[in-house]
Structure 1
């Protein structure tokens, strides 16, 4: 568990922050303006914004998985609001001055960490109030580096791609082929721990412990709720173990290098077209190498994801005569997913079926 308390912002400091952030806002401001209100609701099964009762914790969370994990722990005993609006890709989202004020005015702030929310440390450092409890859900987990694949890829190019296949076979460990400068977004770390159910369970327990410390009178209820939700995640984990055991192949090509933890957990090999950020454009050499790998291994499915363009995956699929299919990193819900009442477990089961189909072709 990782929690720490921050002193209340002084009125003068907050005013200066609001002015500075307002002057530096960009196109994100239009998207983020309503991110702490009704538009912030990332899931259809719960009402995320409501009038907070005096005795209820006010909890801000960064993006959808943190919302689902937290909401399943607190139930109706706290008010939970998401900062990143539904349907918005969270990697490049940045908080407005209003968002930052909302965080510092909350009782608890839950975020994934491991570089996913590049803005989190800046927000927390700028706050100075003792009320806020910040919870980094991934704290204590073994976080994978996201830079080793880039080094291997560079060496492979120098050797005329003689080692391209070997590089990709270790993609689940190295995880991402990143271009120079992308480390700025994630600090070279892979933050996508929530996509391995066993690690999602640990995040739930970290959040539970922090919330219980923040609201001791509700600790027993939080623990009961967490136990119930963890049981569902354990069942999901077992479904993945059973469903992915003995598949014809173990490698899969995905547009976004988000599935390194999932691949490692279930003995698979992720072959990413690009790096950790879904909007990162792969180089021509990266594209050529993936095409070469796909042809050599008779890959019939190229995975893309929701919330971002599928053009790169479509291009490679057309090049090799394969089809494109969705493998969802669950970084936010689309309108269709919300209207269909889908949640983390439901989408993960869709991912499982997609992987089973692709790995048995």
Structure 2
């Protein structure tokens, strides 16, 4: 038994090394600034969607992290920095999500007119257990936090283009109503499930768990490339058995090999729970967005929690 567990651990760590090799793509956004519109550069996908929903036809939104690229280890290239510097508005998540932002902001000229928005400012943030001075940055996975983040973006757009204040206010109200409806669906559906525990590959769902009465155990930490230990793997196996779980959730922008290996050992299945840190090329083509993916997440959660 001890030997089999050791073999499993070695196999898992070999797979993990392959996963790490695929992280941190050097891809860069190819979008351009547009004259006559408010140019807004966003640090990753949810902020891009919120900006588009509120800005509509008066905004040219540029999402820095390309489709299919995991944003945790991404950093801007020269073209990205040029776009950020020359745009009217720059929106980033904050709460420690983008490690490169501090250097970028420090490099701005004293006479820069760039309006900088820390989207998570004012959101109901969760302090991490590892360090009480640090926060879990995945605040957008709470629809009610997303309302606050979208409001921060709205205020910046009004400041950059006051002539279209009424449009931005109305677009925001419409989008906020969709987010509020999404929150209501989550409360209703998850309030009726018999189980309340989920096993995940990436510790990204603390906000979702807090809002809807769930508990997560993750194979890896707040970053999807945080290396699991033998103790982590053992703890996950015990958690799955103790709570009679049938699934381990994985995400699409990171290899699912580790989750599938652990699922096979624990004799459970895998299913997607998307932290919406970016879209795949297929999701872009299918017209998926934050709300549609959150609804798919809800559907999968309900299945797993029966």
Scaled by the length of structure 2, the TM-score of the pair is 0.88
- Judge conservation of contact 2:27–2:65 (CA < 8 Å) in 1: no
- Judge conservation of contact 2:193–2:302 (CA < 8 Å) in 1: yes
Question: 1: CA distance between counterparts of 2:260 and 2:290?
Answer: 26
Alignment correspondent of 2:249 = 303
Q: Which runs of 5+ in 1 are unaligned?
A: 1-26, 38-48, 152-173, 175-186
Kindly indicate whether residue 193 of structure 2 is the aligned counterpart of residue 211 of structure 1.
Answer: no
Kindly indicate whether residue 236 of structure 2 is the aligned counterpart of residue 290 of structure 1.
Answer: yes
Kindly indicate whether residue 105 of structure 2 is the aligned counterpart of residue 124 of structure 1.
Answer: yes
Question: 1: CA distance between counterparts of 2:195 and 2:25?
Answer: 45
Alignment correspondent of 2:203 = 257
3-state SS, counterpart of residue 50 of structure 2: helix
Question: 2: CA distance between counterparts of 1:229 and 1:338?
Answer: 20
Kindly indicate whether residue 46 of structure 2 is the aligned counterpart of residue 65 of structure 1.
Answer: yes
Q: How does 1:156-171 map to 2 (within 5 A)?
A: none
3-state SS, counterpart of residue 288 of structure 2: coil
- Judge conservation of contact 1:115–1:191 (CA < 8 Å) in 2: yes
Q: How does 1:277-356 map to 2 (within 5 A)?
A: 277-356=223-302
Kindly indicate whether residue 130 of structure 2 is the aligned counterpart of residue 134 of structure 1.
Answer: no
Kindly indicate whether residue 58 of structure 2 is the aligned counterpart of residue 77 of structure 1.
Answer: yes
Question: 2: CA distance between counterparts of 1:102 and 1:36?
Answer: 10
3-state SS, counterpart of residue 59 of structure 1: strand
Alignment correspondent of 1:52 = 34
- Judge conservation of contact 1:65–1:194 (CA < 8 Å) in 2: yes
Give 1:30 deviation, angstroms: 4.5
Give 1:285 deviation, angstroms: 0.6
3-state SS, counterpart of residue 94 of structure 2: coil
Give 1:29 deviation, angstroms: 7.9
Question: 2: CA distance between counterparts of 1:143 and 1:29?
Answer: 28
Question: 2: CA distance between counterparts of 1:144 and 1:122?
Answer: 25
- Judge conservation of contact 2:197–2:214 (CA < 8 Å) in 1: yes
Residues 355, 28 of structure 1: CA spacing in aligned structure 2 closer, same or farther, 3 A cutoff?
Answer: closer
Match of 1:95 among 68, 76, 84: 76
**Runs (4+) off by over 3 Å:** 27-30
Match of 2:125 among 143, 161, 172: 143
Question: 1: CA distance between counterparts of 2:228 and 2:174?
Answer: 42
Q: Give the total of aligned pairs.
A: 283
Match of 1:31 among 12, 27, 50: 27
Q: How does 1:14-25 map to 2 (within 5 A)?
A: none
Match of 1:189 among 128, 132, 135: 135
Q: Which runs of 5+ in 2 are unaligned?
A: 1-22
